[in-house]
Structure 1
Amino acid sequence: MTTAPAPVSPPGLVHDVRVLAERDFRRSFGRGALVGTVVQPLLFFGIFYAAFSRMLHAKGIDYGRFVTPTLVVQALMFVAIASAMSLATDRGSGLFNRLRTMPIAGSSLGTARLLVVAAEALTSTVVVSLVAHLAGFRFRAGAAAAVGFLLVAVAFTVALAAVTATLGLSLRNQEALAAALYLPYLPLLVVSTGFVPAALFPHWLQPVVRNSPVSAVIDALRALSGGDPSAGRIVPAVLWCAGLTLFFGWTTARAFRKVTQ
């Protein structure tokens, strides 16, 4: 007497996330894609060093300590933008609709994408920090603060990726999407404490600068790397990251459901 073979259960969430993440890793860390993750931050670091280092040193400002967090944030913005463009490409190729016909966990695609975004953010942050070491950048508050620096950077990238993912799934026109992603990034960076203190802005603009999420994250990174990791300088960044992630995670989920209907 033979027994019937046991039914094969479909792969679980972990398997689905691993398969999708491997696909995104190959695309995000391929030879061409490494330009955005590694080469681009190095290029901007060299440009800003040549343009601002002497001026800042003349004013008694440590270039490595002051500008490095700004360049980290800039690199993270490009990671989030690239993630949205990747989502738009997948949407246009019909990948999402094909995945709906497969027995995969519904949350696996988003989880895999966030893992890859976090890995890209970590890579960019480490690369910029290592190069900035040559310009005098140091973690002066010990290993715990350095880990906090990396965690804030990754959290900010995940928050930004949630924002850009909503755009990537909502805008079908590639030109409109590129404009919506690239045009705001420079004003957000300039109208912040990234390059000059808030007190040097016009009085009417100072509240905007001080309450900007970009300023909050840059100030937190400076505090964690500069030896002053007080709660007052870190909590605003954490709150911004959490708020943006929760709200735009919800809007991204809604946009994804519309795309796959």
Structure 2
Amino acid sequence: MSAAGVGLSTGEPTAQRHFLTTAATDVPTESSFRAWWRQSLPLAGRQIVVFVRDVPTLMQALLFPALSMLMFKVVLGDAIGSATGQNSAYGTVPLVILVGAMFGSIASATRLNRERATGLLARLYVLPIHRAADLTSRVMSELVRILVTTLILLAAGHLIGFRFTQGLGPAIGLVLVALAYGTAFATLTLALAVSARPGAPIVPYLGLASSLLMFFNSGFSPISAYPGWLQPIVANQPMTPAIETMRALAAGGPLAENLTKVAVWTVVILVISIYPALRGYRKAARDR
């Protein structure tokens, strides 16, 4: 055999060993930030695929809010605007965006509770992946859903008179407010879903809470139209400052106070939700 042939045959195993050694050392440790990020992405892709393949839920999450918005305009006309002196579209569009984010998150929470019953969470828990990766992936997929839904609803809102009068920056800020509110609510619902027993009546309870928030806010009518004893509650519940911030970003008006309330509510909900969610994952794995 020629010297060149010998060099090639002896060099191949060395190159393979070097590649395998490099690949092995490139694997991040289970609890590292790199593992959390790298493992969250494919799991988020899984969640998006599951969501897209569930056609009824997909249609309900993306199209039903837009149809509801148009129906509000057809049924109510400009009665709200005539009574309040404000264009009702600037309250209706932010309201429906937030409602769409909430009810879509309830569907995702229901799926999580169902997957807990199948033992999927237990199988994920024993794999060498970051403990927060699956929770993060579900929140990431919710962000994608909320972003797509928000863009669809803004397009539908254009048909009923919703306009951005403050420029591109505030328009992006409006979308970010919707994403922040949706992230907080999604994390809360996921924490409740993974902590509840399989088959628990999540939808009725979360639906009731969401309906109360939906009807007692400034989206349909100004705060001053509510009874005096109810006005402080309406003004400071999570949806109202988000709606008022989105209204100000679209049409102008006071911004700082309501934006601060949105930030506070977002942080508070995330803080009280993340630990119970992670503990719920651990409990779900051990109970299986």
Most deviating of 191-200 and 226-235 = 226-235
Give the whole-Å Cα distance in 2 for the aligned partners of 1:36 and 1:172.
26
List aligned pairs for 1:173-188, cutoff 5 A. Answer: 173-174=198-199, 176-188=201-213
Q: Identify the residue that residue 139 of structure 2 maps to in structure 1.
A: 114
1:194 deviates by 2.0
Moved >6 Å (runs of 4+): none
Matched AA of 1:145: P
> In the alignment, does 2:220 pair up with 1:195?
yes
**Alpha-carbon separation, structure 1, partners of 2:262 and 2:134:** 27
CA 1:61/1:228 → structure 2, altered by over 3 Å: closer, same or farther? closer
Distance 1:24 1:219, change over 3 A: same
Indicate whether 1:26 and 2:55 are aligned. Answer: no
Matched positions, count? 261
The 3-state SS of whatever aligns with 1:202 is coil
Kindly state the Cα deviation for residue 57 of structure 1 after the two structures are TM-superposed: 3.9
Equivalent positions of 1:1-261 (< 5 A) are 3=14, 5=17, 6-7=20-21, 8-9=23-24, 10=27, 12-30=35-53, 31-59=55-83, 60-174=85-199, 176-228=201-253, 230-261=255-286
For residues 251 and 117 of structure 2, what CA distance do their matches in structure 1 show?
44
Structure-1 separation of matches of 2:167 and 2:200: 45
Shift of 1:260: 1.7
Aligned partner letter, 1:29 = V
Partner SS state of residue 183, structure 1: helix
Identity level (%): 28
Whole-angstrom CA distance in 1 between matches of 2:254 and 2:231:
23
User: Who wins on radius of gyration, i.e. which is larger?
Assistant: 2
TM-score of the two chains, using structure 1 as the length reference: 0.92
Structure 1 alignment gaps of length 5 or more: none
SS at match of 1:184: helix
CA distance in 2, matches of 1:47, 1:170: 37
Quick check: 1:139–1:225 contact (8 Å CA) kept in 2?
A: yes
Counterpart of 2:72 in structure 1: which amino acid?
A: F
Give the partner amino acid of 2:226.
F
- Matches of 1:235 and 1:177, distance apart in 2: 30
Structure 2, unpaired ranges of 5+: 1-9, 29-34
> How many angstroms apart in 1 are the aligned matches of 2:137 and 2:206?
22
Residue 186 (structure 1) shift: 0.9
Matched to 1:51, the amino acid is: V
1:228 offset after TM fit, Å?
Answer: 2.6
